[in-house]
Structure 1
């Protein structure tokens, strides 16, 4: 078929049909088409050939609408003729989008963290599994100030190689058995919201005696002249659990209170949100009485080291089973130091010691070969009642004091608690960035103490709570360091600092009302349950407390239960 010419094609069209679009029916103004619009409408580009790519960068059209919807008329719109970024590295476009400033780690947050990593905000102080260390070694790290996780230089990182750091899985202080019944599971976030204001407490009775504190230890801390060797002084010391205390048994028979505990046990419960390591308490309900006990072999008697540090001491493994800087070895070392240090800082004079109203409740000279340590046991009562309670709810706690000292102003006796912080090796893993005490304690005392507050938040909080419970006038903190960082058997005392317990609690942001709220909550749960035995366990890897109902024979000396309870001690040996 021969090709058709243009003229033939036009001629073949039906009459009346024309080329091109149909005639426009739009409204015109002076011959110019227009569309009606509102003054509130935003004016943008007439044509944006790069909109698809730009929307992908911003997260799509919804993201674009969300970012721009709150702007005033005409603000924040891009020009129709964008300048494309050149290859010159020093040239960049200015981003005029609005960002919402937020505090914290959310998208769009402008917070930037510098230097070595630190722990983020915690709703569960001490819960290791809930932390994320911010920043890495060297360089400035943080969230991109324009939102999102920054990549490359300046982008946020979770610390040096935190992305491939293995999760630390600690062992529980006690293993839950199949016949244990889980009653409650309480996370630290809930515990930290509790609050109960109580009175100062009242003294019921006191036992034992106290030697006077040796003021020569108060010389300039850190100075070479104030250093002295830590000596081994064998004295009989006791840490009897609540149910075995004969004085508490007598007070319970007289119906003096509903809840009974010791300061060592009660401080652990009150400072639970700061704890990281696993621990457990045994709660016995007998009639309308509650006895909060510790089991035999419990780690409550052990003094932890750098429990709250950003990089805590590493757990023992097959290759480092006997490492001197493992948590178990450091706990044993710190516990020995806190046994010897108070004995050395008092003047043992039989003519000037302070006798309490009653003799020592646990010392039996016929059975002991060592003389008793300077110790006063004060039994004090606190009112935990609420307005809605039909009957008052009282708690009796056995507290301890270590020494007495004369006030320089009026000559009155002031009661002391004496504790010791220990330095193992400020260059070793697990030191938590601690300063060298020998060189910094004299010149940077505040920085040394602040670092210890961070690395040992739970331990110092417990000591402070114990001092407040005992109504002590002062709390003495000794700084004890290894003579050689590679040997945990020889130590030197670098100095002693004194603090008023309540002022020290304020420096640590320690809220006593929160601690009393925790005690009252646990007591209420147990009072609603039938008589029996209960075990409260802190999860070893999560900021959670679990309350179990257990058989009455649990932790009795029947071999199997005790082997489970003493597992941690066997490892220490």
Structure 2
């Protein structure tokens, strides 16, 4: 066979200039109906075959989110792809017209079910679980369903997460740009801490105490036990750690490493229960740590229904009743807790117990009102661990409000006195509280249980303060408004007494967890150098943040005499 040359191969190739099929001048759209479209349409939208499906009985085009970006170009041109509807369907009829009668029952898919597994949105629908009916006036009924909202199938799902109002609370203190964040601690980590400590030891006591008036222990809720809450002018003090002369003396004597007050320490120990924002100022000087608070701190205010599922709303959140806003309720509760302990004691110079030392803060030459019944006990707790080379002690200033004679032994027992307040059981933010006037006498357990749920942080702090002071009893007063629409006049409905440790067990309060939190914070601070630190609770998250701040923080003054922080808050 003769060899094939390259020239023969090249000569066999087509003589055209390009590869591929031959081009044609004819178009494939000739004779085919054409729908106008916009050049901005996505591919596949030139011919919409689904338009006829989105028309309701009235002929209006329904909204379809799959086609919400459809262009309006060419909307007025008749659709050439519409197929004429077949009119034969008008002659169609169902052969079997018998009605199916369903028996009334109480099981799954039965008739009217008020709890458990029932029907979706009422008796006209099927399926679902957890539906219930609310009967209105004149026999009308309105159905609610936990899965599909109000009545019927479908609709948006309203669960407890969706129904809960979205809160955006403000922080108790403004974080400045020059602050350096050192630690961010989640509450879940704090709940895992644990430290067993002793009951503590008394170092010294100051002040005096009057006896508690037992007339307030009459049957709570009874009309005869109601007493008007009166304001008695007495000198009361809430001195912070760094301004306490007794704590400064103990620090100079090197009696402990950490110093604080029961009001501040209880907030730190019960921090996982808190919802509102708060802050602590911590000063490290040498090997000493002073846990302090700033002037005008939120720690001085008594919260109301802080832990309720529907906590009181701010006026900025849509609350039209400013009297029942969180800020107004705090002022009201704080006033009640300042007045109530003074009213329920019997002031008698002959029946009065003086402590070994005089009142540390009262100065007769400067005060015009006599001092209130109060005893200050400075107590020391050992927070040491086995691995510690040196012991770690904490000194806390605790407070007692009154004393009472034991009915059996006749010995004096120390009391702490606090007051719960009712504003309006029908108002927003009441947390489903019972009417105290009607239920306190017959269902006191239910009333207290509701308060434990709605005011978990507040009651935990009060119980912790009572245990720190080694009080024998904790008296809880129930104070309500004389008129729900008036927050200036109140009545005392009754007083209940509890042993602090038993009350702590009822509300699942673990003191060992609180001491573990204190020890963890102490290790964080002692591992750092001298300076000032601020611990802030995030206003909207269960998180604590530790900041390193300049030494002059909260101490600078402006021209009008207001602290810098307060001026920023007013703006």
- TM-score normalised per structure 2: 0.73
Determine the C-alpha separation between the residues in 2 that align with 1:113 and 1:402.
Answer: 49
Q: What residue in structure 1 maps to residue 499 of structure 2? A: 500
Determine the C-alpha separation between the residues in 1 that align with 2:132 and 2:329.
Answer: 28
Determine the C-alpha separation between the residues in 2 that align with 1:343 and 1:523.
Answer: 36
Q: Structure 1 residue 158: deviation in Å?
A: 1.4
Determine the C-alpha separation between the residues in 1 that align with 2:419 and 2:358.
Answer: 27
Q: What residue in structure 1 maps to residue 159 of structure 2? A: 158
Q: What residue in structure 2 maps to residue 544 of structure 1? A: 543
Instruction: State whether structure 2 residue 216 is matched by structure 1 residue 204.
Output: no
Q: What residue in structure 2 maps to residue 438 of structure 1? A: 437
Q: Give 3-state SS (helix, strand or coil) of 1:379's partner.
A: strand
Determine the C-alpha separation between the residues in 2 that align with 1:306 and 1:420.
Answer: 13
Contact 2:257/2:288 (8 A) holds in 1: yes
Contact 1:555/1:562 (8 A) holds in 2: no
Contact 2:555/2:563 (8 A) holds in 1: no
Contact 1:173/1:568 (8 A) holds in 2: no
Contact 1:242/1:260 (8 A) holds in 2: yes
Determine the C-alpha separation between the residues in 1 that align with 2:364 and 2:458.
Answer: 33
Contact 1:233/1:344 (8 A) holds in 2: yes
Determine the C-alpha separation between the residues in 2 that align with 1:352 and 1:390.
Answer: 48
Determine the C-alpha separation between the residues in 1 that align with 2:236 and 2:321.
Answer: 28
Would the alpha carbon gap of residues 494 and 525 (structure 1) be closer, same or farther in structure 2, given more than 3 Å must change? same
Determine the C-alpha separation between the residues in 2 that align with 1:114 and 1:508.
Answer: 31
Task: Please identify, of 556-565 and 452-461, the stretch whose mean Cα deviation from structure 2 is larger.
Answer: 556-565
Contact 2:164/2:310 (8 A) holds in 1: no
Contact 1:539/1:546 (8 A) holds in 2: yes
Q: What residue in structure 2 maps to residue 451 of structure 1? A: 450
Q: What residue in structure 2 maps to residue 566 of structure 1? A: 566
Q: What residue in structure 2 maps to residue 81 of structure 1? A: none
Q: Which has the larger radius of gyration?
A: 2
Q: Structure 1 residue 558: deviation in Å?
A: 1.9
Deviations 1:320-353 (A, max 9, x none): 6871100000000000000000000000001110
Contact 1:141/1:154 (8 A) holds in 2: no
Contact 2:557/2:564 (8 A) holds in 1: no
Counting matched residue pairs gives 441
Q: What residue in structure 2 maps to residue 385 of structure 1? A: 384
Q: Structure 1 residue 544: deviation in Å?
A: 0.2
Mapping 1:101-112, distance limit 5 Å = none
Deviations 1:296-315 (A, max 9, x none): 01010000000000000001
Mapping 1:290-329, distance limit 5 Å = 290-317=289-316, 323-329=322-328
Determine the C-alpha separation between the residues in 1 that align with 2:432 and 2:394.
Answer: 40
Determine the C-alpha separation between the residues in 2 that align with 1:550 and 1:313.
Answer: 33
Would the alpha carbon gap of residues 115 and 221 (structure 1) be closer, same or farther in structure 2, given more than 3 Å must change? farther
Gaps of at least 5 residues in structure 2 are: 1-98, 109-128, 134-141
Q: What residue in structure 2 maps to residue 364 of structure 1? A: 363
Determine the C-alpha separation between the residues in 2 that align with 1:172 and 1:210.
Answer: 38
Q: Give 3-state SS (helix, strand or coil) of 1:194's partner.
A: coil
Would the alpha carbon gap of residues 315 and 89 (structure 1) be closer, same or farther in structure 2, given more than 3 Å must change? farther
Q: Give 3-state SS (helix, strand or coil) of 2:399's partner.
A: strand
Q: What residue in structure 2 maps to residue 9 of structure 1? A: none
Would the alpha carbon gap of residues 360 and 115 (structure 1) be closer, same or farther in structure 2, given more than 3 Å must change? farther
Q: What residue in structure 2 maps to residue 256 of structure 1? A: 255
Determine the C-alpha separation between the residues in 2 that align with 1:232 and 1:195.
Answer: 42
Q: Structure 1 residue 559: deviation in Å?
A: 2.7
Determine the C-alpha separation between the residues in 1 that align with 2:380 and 2:147.
Answer: 50
Q: Structure 1 residue 448: deviation in Å?
A: 0.3
Q: What residue in structure 1 maps to residue 237 of structure 2? A: 238
Q: Give 3-state SS (helix, strand or coil) of 1:317's partner.
A: helix
Q: What residue in structure 1 maps to residue 5 of structure 2? A: none
